[in-house]
Copies of this chain bind each other. A is one copy, B any other.
Amino acid sequence: MAEFGIDPFADLYAERARGMSASAVRALFAVASRPEVISLAGGSPFVHALPQDRVLEAARRAIVDRGDVALQYGGGQGHLGLREQLVKVMDAEGVAADPDHLVITEGAQEGLDILGKIFIDPGDTIAIEAPAYVGGISAFSTYQPRFLPIPLDDDGMIVEALEEALIRGERPKFVYTVPNFHNPAGVTLSYERRVRLVALCREAGIPIVEDNPYGMLRYEGDAVPTLRSMDPDNVIYLGTVSKILAPGVRIGWILGGPGLIQRAVLAKEAASLCSSHLTQLITEEYFAQGDDWREGVAGFVEVYRSRRDAMLRALESHFPAESSWTHPAGGFFVWATVPSHIDTSDLLAAAVERRVAYVPGAAFYADGSGRDKMRLAFCLAPERDIEEGIRRLADLLREETELYRSLGGPGAGD
Contact = CB atoms under 8 A, between A and B. Distances in A.
Interface of A: 3-10, 12-17, 20-23, 25-26, 29-30, 42, 44-45, 47-48, 50, 52, 55-56, 59-60, 63-64, 67-76, 105-107, 109-110, 113, 117-121, 124, 135, 138-139, 141-143, 173-174, 205, 207, 233-234, 242, 246-250, 257-260, 262-263, 265-267, 269-279, 282
| This chain's copy number in the assembly | 2
A137 to B, nearest CB: 9
A313 to B, nearest CB: 27
Contacts of A259: 4-10
Contacts of A56: 59-60, 63-64
Contact of A260 (B7, B29, B135): B7
Given A56-B60, A63-B55, A119-B12, A269 B68 contact: no
A356 to B, nearest CB: 20
Contact of A278 (B15, B173, B249): B249
A107 B272 contact: yes
A350 B263 CA distance: 28
Given A5-B259, A106-B106, 11 more contacts: A3-B262, A12-B119, A14-B118, A14-B120, A17-B117, A20-B270, A23-B266, A45-B72, A72-B247, A107-B272, A142-B270
B248 A8 contact: no
Given A8-B257, A276-B249, A20 B263 contact: yes
A272 B250 contact: yes
Contacts of A267: 17, 20, 142
A111 to B, nearest CB: 9
A395 to B, nearest CB: 29
A82 to B, nearest CB: 13
B271 A110 contact: yes
B106 A276 contact: yes
A63 B73 contact: no
Contacts of A107: 272-273
Contacts of A141: 270
Q: Chain A's interface: helix, strand, loop or mixed, by majority?
A: helix
Contact of A72 (B3, B25, B113, B246): B246
B15 A121 contact: yes
A297 to B, nearest CB: 15
A257 B7 contact: yes
A118 B20 CA distance: 9
A396 B76 CA distance: 31
Contacts of A42: 73
Contacts of A70: 248
Contacts of A15: 121
Nearest to A30: B75
A10 B259 CA distance: 8
10 contacts: A9-B119, A16-B121, A42-B73, A48-B67, A48-B68, A55-B63, A72-B247, A72-B248, A109-B271, A278-B279
A279 B248 CA distance: 8
Nearest to A8: B233
Contacts of A5: 258-259
Contacts of A14: 117-121, 124, 143
